[in-house]
Structure 1
Amino acid sequence: MRDRTAQSVSDHEAGIGTAAPWTRSGEDVAAGLHCDAGTGLSMSEAQQRLDRHGPNRLAEGKQTSPLTLLLGQFKNPLLIILMIGAVISLLTGHMVDAIAIAVIVVLNAVISFYQEFSAARSLAALREMAAPLAFVKRDGEWAEIPAADIVPGDILRFKAGDIIAADVRFLEAARLAVDEAALTGESEPVDKHILAIDDPELTLADRLNMGFMSTKVTSGTGLGIATSTGMQTEVGHIAHMMATTEEPKTPLQERIEKLSKVLIAAALGVVAVVIGIGIFHGMSLSEMLTTAISLSVAAIPEGLPTVVTIVLTLGSQRMVHNNALARKLAAVETLGTTSVICSDKTGTLTQNQMQVMRLWAGGKTWDLTGEGFDPTGDFLDAEGRAAVIAEEQDLAHMLEVSVYCNEAELMLKDGRHAVQGNPTEGALVVAGAKVGISRDALKKDHYDILQSFPFDSTRKMMSMHVRTPDGRKVLVAKGAPDVIMSRAKGILLNGEIRPLDDGIRAQVEEVIEDFGGRALRTLAVAFRYAEDGTFDPADPEHDIVLLGVHGIMDPPRPEVKRAVADATSAGIRTVMITGDHAVTAQAIAEQIGIRTSEAQTVHTGHEIDGMDDRRLAEVAKNAAVFARVTPEHKLRIVKAMQANGEVAAMTGDGVNDAPALRTADIGVAMGITGTSVAKDSAALVLLDDNFSTIVSAVREGRRIYDNLLKFVRQALTSNVAEVSTILFAFLLMGNEPLIPLAPLMILWVNLVSDGIPALALGFEEAEHNVMRRAPRTRDHDLFSDGMKERILIRGLAVGGISYYTFSQGLAMELGFEMAQTMAFVTIMFAQLWHVFDARTTTTLFRKSPFGNPKLLMAVGISLALSAIAVYSPFGHYVLGTASLPLSILLACAFIAAVPTFVLSGIKEVFGFKFL
């Protein structure tokens, strides 16, 4: 496979060939880009290249104007039906009806517009990460120029704190380290060198002689030659993926769209039937249009879009209290549908605090207790006994050297312990502090640093020339175990220096192998006395004495194992997707329960490169870990899972995660360590960067979806009741049918007398089995599990008794307005009784009516407003109601209770699911 970066380089300048820049020497790269590393480009050549390649900036994405966004809200099919109803009302002289319907349409559109207008500005955040200025050599002179003017072939200079302004091949590197976490996922700064690496398929994180746009130099200095600029850089590639990636519709949006189509079809069907009956009975066009308006208003739950938004908003507010911030309301419900969580490792599943977990010194292995950078804990031997440091000379000596040969500092920050400096070095400082060993204490004992030999990527170790309190001069060193072992001639055992013979060497190598098998990063510590008081600066670490080996890792968060288990019991699979090495990732996955059997596979980014999309989708079904992955890999993995019908949540914190966060059904960004690009691309932000928060949010998402179903049941039962009331009149009243419910009466029921209590269903607590159910499938039907039958049967029953009270009012010769009011009151009372049954999938006899105080309050408000609608001049004028005698009002209330209590009683006795 031809590397994309290599291709972009060849596109920039003819002559560089197709070889990736990290596989060639710096001189070859400079020659291919026709640049003299000593003088840089000439100003005229730089201008020509700038004209040819364009500015070194990320392309602007297409912006949708607010007006276009607002007008787009009126494409909602439900709103279109209502707009038609408003126009017909206007044409037929029903001005009050037209205004009321139009207000409902505009309110729904404005709420939806506001939600979308607050959408992500990911590309803008990505552009803001770029360096504004850079030091570039032109015509042999160093100059600070706008980063946008950098071109391929420019020579750039870097120091600690600088943002790298383009993709570069390093030509010089002096203790150069770069923080690439946002781009590659590496948790620690990466040490850079200038040697060619003979592997054209190398992943981004392993290109140790390359620097990438928007990453930050943390230490050292360096020179590099720009190989790619603008959209040709690695960050530019991510920006392109973000710009061309469409965010999928959420499962809730898909279900609401499907529901809209069903409601529209039902409305049109009922209107057609009624008009057919009207034509058969010789009704006038005006009468039929009035009836059509009533039916269209009755068939559409006008408050559905608004109530869905309000319920999701209430849910999002509850989630914030649990450290989950929903940036997109639809994400609140999507969480409840999630079937797979693709989680990053560092900081999400782990503590993002390097810690010495295991230590070998003086022939003994010690396990360390404690969490993160907190200097509290014990050293436990094989029998679980805590070390008494005064009795363990070898251990004490090793910790003293580890703490002194160190550049990290342990400090208190905002009441919490933190490390300033390299996290791995910080882990050694914390380990020493657990037994009272610190650099400050050693300095007070007159340990003096005479000379330092800094770490570099060639030696893979650092050392210091120290004078001890007794006046002896000693070299202390730490570094990669293989390097230390290759230079060691002895080992400290029981306070004595012994030769490092083959037997002891094998024992040490066994320890190192054991630590590696536990996914521990190993670091060896050694020392050497200077016989003559001096050290050879060219080779200070020869003939050193091994003190011991540290086993270091970023350990799992204590609560994560339980959270993964909870997700599993809820039918949700957790998959680790990380830029870390496969061995480390697999070990962590097994510790926390993500990988529990051999059937759960582990794959690397290199393996993914060899798979087509179909094969990757097959592999994704059983995968537990994807390691050493790139942004493209993450994007492909998410799409593969979606192709399998999964509802995928993806966590991330870096720029490299942004495309996958946008593509996932729900992108979850880290609120503490996450970049602004990741947060703006995500639908959910974890304020505590904790995986267990996702699982808590899933529970909340399921609760919210259950409550939305309860609302849909309540609202659609009311719609069926309203439509059937009118249908019964047309079917049973002969040649001169009268309309039992006026359009504004129906609007009042939908939005006020029924809408307010239905909204209170959003406060219902979670069902007892909410986290023991399998996730809903993407194509889950809102009308499944008997919902459709319950809505139709109960709606028809309520419609039947509403028509009955209407016909009784006419039969008693109370007048048309009084009869209409009786139907209006009956349907209002019927919905207030029904709302208590809609709270549960069982029956209202199984659930205390006092379990939701807000529902009781809403019912009280609804009764008060309904009284105003029936007994006030406002109600008489706007709704066309008439004041009912108290006896008739109570009779309507009693009759309205019959459908709910009779049908619930039958269900309670016989267990019929469809009731």
Structure 2
Amino acid sequence: MAKMDASPDAGKVRDNDRFLVQPHSVAIEQVLALLHSSRQGLSESQASERLALYGPNQLPSGKPPSMLVIFLRQFKSPLIYILLAAALLSAVTTAWSDAAFITAILILNAIIGSVQEYSAQRATEALQKIVTARTRVLRDGELYDKDASVLVPGDVVALESGDRVPADLRLFSAHDTVIDESLLTGESLAVSKKPDLVLDPLTPPGDRCNMAFAGTMVERGRALGVVVNTALATEIGRIATHVLLRPVTKSPLLLRMERFTRRVALFVGVAAMVVASISFARGTELAEIFFLAVALAVSAIPEGLPVALTVALAIGLRRMADRNVIVRRLISVEALGSCTCIATDKTGTLTVNRITVKRVELADGSQLEVAGEGIIPSGKITMDGGDPDEAQRSPLNRLARAAVLSNEAHLVVREGRWTAQGDAVDVALLVMARKVGLVKEKLVSDCPELETIPFESERMFSASVNRVDGTTLLSVKGAPEKILSMCSSMAVGDEDLAIESVSIQRRAEALAAQGYRMLAVAEGEIEMAPETVISERQLSGLTFLGLLGMVDPLRPESAQAVASCQEAGIRVVMVTGDHPITALAVAKQLRLADDERAIVTGADLKLADSDHGLDRLTDSARVYARAEPVQKLEIVKSLQRHGHFVAVSGDGANDAPALKAAQVGVAMGATGTEVAMETADLIITDDNFSSILAGVEEGRVAYSNVRKVIFLLISTGAAELVLFTLALITGTPLPLVAVQLLWLNLVTNGIQDIALAFEPAEGDELSRPPRPPNEAIFNRVMIERVLVSALTIGCIAFALFQWLLMQGYSIEEARNGTLLLMVLFENVQVFNSRSETLSVFRHNPVRNPLLLFGTLAAQLIHIGSMYTPGLSAVLQVQPVSFQHWLQLLLLALLLLVVMEIHKAFWGRR
């Protein structure tokens, strides 16, 4: 919490100032004195001076990048730097066609990447509703409606039901005020405010019941409070500061690609130096050495990779969008697929963030289950899987009636959708009553209300007096211990028997230990004279009807989604600000934890005196309860020290620091805050945890396709290097010139690698563990496959080139035949690239029709170039007979045989 001082600049945040206090730890009069304010608020002149001093009450928001910035950002890649160097080298050696080819491909890549990223950015902006916040503020003793951005420390603000709190307030007046603070604390149950209390300075934000925090929502009641902090000095501002100051964590693919391109750059540089040294020692002219270096660079660098990579990620982006996952930056497409640990928020992510009655325990001990979640009154009330017995129907109906009559909420259908107003607990009771068959509007019409006692946190109950069938009926609900003290009997079947308070209290405690929030319900007939006011003294001799167990229930798909993540080798941990008992109850349903040994609390984290101590806690913990926002950040950092690629999901502002620190941040789009969505890499539009699982699958498919494209390009590029090296060693003229190498890499292969990026899932993505975080793109299987295929292609192509020369063909004709063979090799290799382990013959060719058409198009384009004037001259190609083409095709099919043998050998190993 930011602090205040007693100087004329009251309210100014100065961390090193010695005159600082915590506003929740002092009486309201002292707070007003420190702020040089009063219960009548500031004058307009005072407010203007302070506004100039502190600035507007707004959190800084990043301006979305322009299309030009996004375009230029596409060139920030080591691989792009290598290609730019190759283009420059080509221009220096006047190889203008080579330079033009490389430059064109770089511009094409930047255009594709920019369009996709800009599209994703627009989709994100569409999720965020920009609303100008208004508030009611006292100025010179008069209440004005003003923009919340003009608030300053010392202003007095009026709150009422439905308002969003505009700044951090120290409350000094509150009438039945309940505020939903789940945005900050993760607690799904709203907090009752008690302005007269003075709290310990170390009280955590979630327990500061005399404060109202910026961004939280008033569920009911009215209150007055003085502004103590605005903008970045608020609690939500502190979270924003953590987000703004923390560097962006690089995505897994970006880290792997950077390692890959560094190795390519190192290899090209060393190889160029070796070739240059050998050539210079042989007395080769400098111009010829430059020519050799360009040819080497062109053959070694996968020029088509930037475009193919961008296309593969763009396809993944579209597929993820179809499964309710919006990707904010293209490079983050595969991030979920690479994660080894998901740290998920509980409230609103795993749960529906709506209090729901799930258990009814009648006075006789009968336990009834309530199906359904949230405010939609679908689902039945059952006992042992069937309908309640006749003995339970009467007390159940009485309980539901009392819960409705003593209720201040409303549940209605508007425009085909269920909407609710009022306290979350009251709404939950109305939903439960609907499942019994009682509708509040009809019941209140049949049983007119005579008097009420509204709920106050000090009372711990609410009551209503209604005329029911000619009698005066009192209905009461509240804390079990409070209600039991009012009762002398209990409803058992159709009778009222002497109450067994001790037994009922034990049952209530047992339900609370299971994570339920408990409520008791009672009723009784009373005598009440007309126009008299009911008092608490009359609440005695009532009949106890039963207990209601309420929870913020799991989303229906959460348990299966978590189980599927674990089957996919992903560790799932839950981080929540909720009570340990509640957290454990949810964790047991998710099968994340069996007992409290798997739970670490925020207090435990504070006791960890070092990173090593914290790491010991996070090594085995599966649930973190009462965790503060900064602690969520520390948990993520600790998991990363354990070697995990961490994904964090959440919806509140309290999740933002952790969302940014993780390798991939996942925000909830439907109920998530703007702070969370701005910070995250991915946004789940339906707030469904199973969509995270879908994102994992699509991320793995995207990464698998990236590897397939890289294998295709690197293996064919390596084959060109083998061909180049054999010619250099034997002193043979280069089998292919630089422009022919570019034609292979960018045009014929470029069509196929883009088609390969459209490969569908192989089907086992979620049955295999994630790749180790430190594993490079080039792991053992890819290295073997590249070496085998490169040596096969390079040696066969070189042998053909030598044979053609020995048969008396000119060097141009020999190059023409060799180039055609290389194109055919590429046509075969693209089908070898469809899977690292599965045989070509186990893949249905029509599952990716683009690959068939792309391969055919690549071959036809090359044949067409032989007949195209100008292009054939630049490429130095000429037509060949069908018989010659068929012979070369048979040679190329040898590659298919070799790679099938390698896959079979690898599979057995």
Matched-pair contact (CA < 8 Å) for 1:654–1:678:
yes
SS in 1 for 2:436: coil
For residues 68-96 of structure 1, the C-alpha deviation after alignment (integer angstroms, 9 at most, x for no partner) is 66555445332223223323332333322
Q: Does 1:476 align with 2:478?
A: no
Matched-pair contact (CA < 8 Å) for 1:213–1:233:
yes
Rounded to whole Å, the distance in 2 between the matches of 1:903 and 1:156 is: 74
TM-score by length of 2: 0.92
- The structure 2 residue matched to 1:763, chosen from 758, 761, 771, is 758
Aligned match of 2:463: 463
For residues 3-44 of structure 1, the C-alpha deviation after alignment (integer angstroms, 9 at most, x for no partner) is 65579968479999544322332223223333332x333445
TM-aligned CA deviation for residue 449 of structure 1: 0.6
Aligned match of 1:161: 162
Aligned partner letter, 1:530: I
Aligned partner letter, 1:833: V
For residues 235-283 of structure 1, the C-alpha deviation after alignment (integer angstroms, 9 at most, x for no partner) is 2112211211222111110111111011112212222233233224333
Cα 1:738–1:540 change in 2 (3 A) is farther
Name whichever of 884-893 and 129-138 sits farther off: 129-138
Aligned partner letter, 1:411: V
Q: Does 1:861 align with 2:863?
A: no
Question: What is the number of equivalent residue pairs in this alignment?
Answer: 900
Cα 1:245–1:121 change in 2 (3 A) is farther
Rounded to whole Å, the distance in 2 between the matches of 1:145 and 1:614 is: 50
Aligned partner letter, 1:787: M
How large is the RMSD of aligned CA atoms in angstroms?
Answer: 3.1
Cα 1:769–1:73 change in 2 (3 A) is closer
Aligned match of 1:239: 240
Rounded to whole Å, the distance in 2 between the matches of 1:124 and 1:852 is: 33
SS in 2 for 1:771: helix
Rounded to whole Å, the distance in 2 between the matches of 1:770 and 1:65 is: 36
Cα 1:271–1:885 change in 2 (3 A) is farther
Aligned pairs (5 A) from 1:435-446: 435-444=436-445, 446=446
- The structure 1 residue matched to 2:504, chosen from 490, 508, 513, is 508
Matched-pair contact (CA < 8 Å) for 1:130–1:213:
no
Aligned match of 1:491: 490
Rounded to whole Å, the distance in 1 between the matches of 2:421 and 2:794 is: 71
- The structure 1 residue matched to 2:712, chosen from 705, 711, 714, is 714
For residues 586-613 of structure 1, the C-alpha deviation after alignment (integer angstroms, 9 at most, x for no partner) is 10101121114665x2122233233344
Aligned match of 1:138: 139
For residues 102-140 of structure 1, the C-alpha deviation after alignment (integer angstroms, 9 at most, x for no partner) is 112223344445566678799999999786443333343
Aligned match of 1:290: 291
SS in 2 for 1:364: coil
Rounded to whole Å, the distance in 2 between the matches of 1:51 and 1:13 is: 20
Cα 1:408–1:367 change in 2 (3 A) is same
For residues 312-369 of structure 1, the C-alpha deviation after alignment (integer angstroms, 9 at most, x for no partner) is 2212222223222222222221111111111122232223343322112231323224
Percent identity of the aligned residues?
A: 34
Aligned match of 2:36: 34
Matched-pair contact (CA < 8 Å) for 1:794–1:900:
no
TM-aligned CA deviation for residue 825 of structure 1: 0.9
Aligned pairs (5 A) from 1:276-355: 276-355=277-356
Aligned pairs (5 A) from 1:396-545: 396-412=397-413, 415=416, 417-444=418-445, 446-470=446-470, 472-500=471-499, 504-533=500-529, 536-539=533-536, 542-543=539-540, 545=542
Matched-pair contact (CA < 8 Å) for 2:584–2:596:
no
For residues 350-404 of structure 1, the C-alpha deviation after alignment (integer angstroms, 9 at most, x for no partner) is 23343322112231323224212443444333x5442256873222211111122
Matched-pair contact (CA < 8 Å) for 1:358–1:551:
yes
Aligned partner letter, 1:730: L
Q: Does 1:871 align with 2:867?
A: yes
Cα 1:40–1:130 change in 2 (3 A) is farther
Aligned match of 1:741: 736
- The structure 2 residue matched to 1:897, chosen from 854, 870, 893, is 893
Rounded to whole Å, the distance in 1 between the matches of 2:65 and 2:672 is: 27
For residues 173-193 of structure 1, the C-alpha deviation after alignment (integer angstroms, 9 at most, x for no partner) is 112233333233233443322
Rounded to whole Å, the distance in 2 between the matches of 1:14 and 1:569 is: 51
Aligned pairs (5 A) from 1:557-572: 557-572=555-570
Aligned match of 2:745: 750
TM-aligned CA deviation for residue 655 of structure 1: 2.0
TM-aligned CA deviation for residue 52 of structure 1: 4.0
- The structure 2 residue matched to 1:632, chosen from 610, 630, 633, is 630
- The structure 2 residue matched to 1:380, chosen from 378, 382, 386, is 382
Aligned match of 1:646: 644
TM-aligned CA deviation for residue 906 of structure 1: 5.8
Aligned match of 1:691: 689
Aligned pairs (5 A) from 1:187-202: 187-202=188-203
Rounded to whole Å, the distance in 1 between the matches of 2:46 and 2:377 is: 57
Aligned match of 2:86: 85
Name whichever of 569-578 and 410-419 sits farther off: 410-419
Aligned partner letter, 1:823: T
Q: Does 1:588 align with 2:590?
A: no
Aligned partner letter, 2:616: E
TM-aligned CA deviation for residue 48 of structure 1: 4.5
Aligned partner letter, 2:400: L
SS in 2 for 1:475: strand
Rounded to whole Å, the distance in 2 between the matches of 1:86 and 1:376 is: 65
- The structure 2 residue matched to 1:602, chosen from 575, 599, 603, is 599
Rounded to whole Å, the distance in 1 between the matches of 2:727 and 2:51 is: 78
Rounded to whole Å, the distance in 1 between the matches of 2:823 and 2:765 is: 31
SS in 1 for 2:398: helix
Cα 1:418–1:124 change in 2 (3 A) is closer
Matched-pair contact (CA < 8 Å) for 2:3–2:20:
no
Name whichever of 5-14 and 286-295 sits farther off: 5-14
SS in 1 for 2:485: helix
Rounded to whole Å, the distance in 1 between the matches of 2:17 and 2:292 is: 78
Matched-pair contact (CA < 8 Å) for 2:349–2:651:
no
Rounded to whole Å, the distance in 1 between the matches of 2:561 and 2:751 is: 36
Aligned match of 1:365: 366
Aligned pairs (5 A) from 1:652-691: 652-691=650-689
Matched-pair contact (CA < 8 Å) for 1:370–1:377:
yes
Rounded to whole Å, the distance in 2 between the matches of 1:263 and 1:459 is: 73
TM-aligned CA deviation for residue 763 of structure 1: 3.4
Matched-pair contact (CA < 8 Å) for 1:169–1:226:
yes
- The structure 2 residue matched to 1:832, chosen from 799, 824, 827, is 827
Q: For structure 2, which runs of at least 5 residues remain unmatched after alignment?
A: none
Matched-pair contact (CA < 8 Å) for 2:109–2:310:
no
Rounded to whole Å, the distance in 2 between the matches of 1:13 and 1:255 is: 41
Q: Does 1:262 align with 2:257?
A: no
Matched-pair contact (CA < 8 Å) for 2:123–2:326:
no
TM-aligned CA deviation for residue 439 of structure 1: 2.2
Matched-pair contact (CA < 8 Å) for 1:464–1:476:
yes
Rounded to whole Å, the distance in 2 between the matches of 1:63 and 1:439 is: 48
TM-aligned CA deviation for residue 409 of structure 1: 3.1
Rounded to whole Å, the distance in 2 between the matches of 1:171 and 1:68 is: 49
TM-aligned CA deviation for residue 233 of structure 1: 0.8
Matched-pair contact (CA < 8 Å) for 1:123–1:239:
no
Cα 1:843–1:687 change in 2 (3 A) is closer
Q: For structure 1, which runs of at least 5 residues remain unmatched after alignment?
A: none
Rounded to whole Å, the distance in 1 between the matches of 2:147 and 2:439 is: 45
Matched-pair contact (CA < 8 Å) for 1:357–1:369:
yes
TM-aligned CA deviation for residue 98 of structure 1: 1.9
Rounded to whole Å, the distance in 1 between the matches of 2:69 and 2:667 is: 29
- The structure 2 residue matched to 1:820, chosen from 815, 820, 823, is 815
TM-aligned CA deviation for residue 778 of structure 1: 1.8
SS in 2 for 1:343: strand
TM-aligned CA deviation for residue 845 of structure 1: 5.5
Aligned partner letter, 2:830: V
Rounded to whole Å, the distance in 2 between the matches of 1:533 and 1:258 is: 85
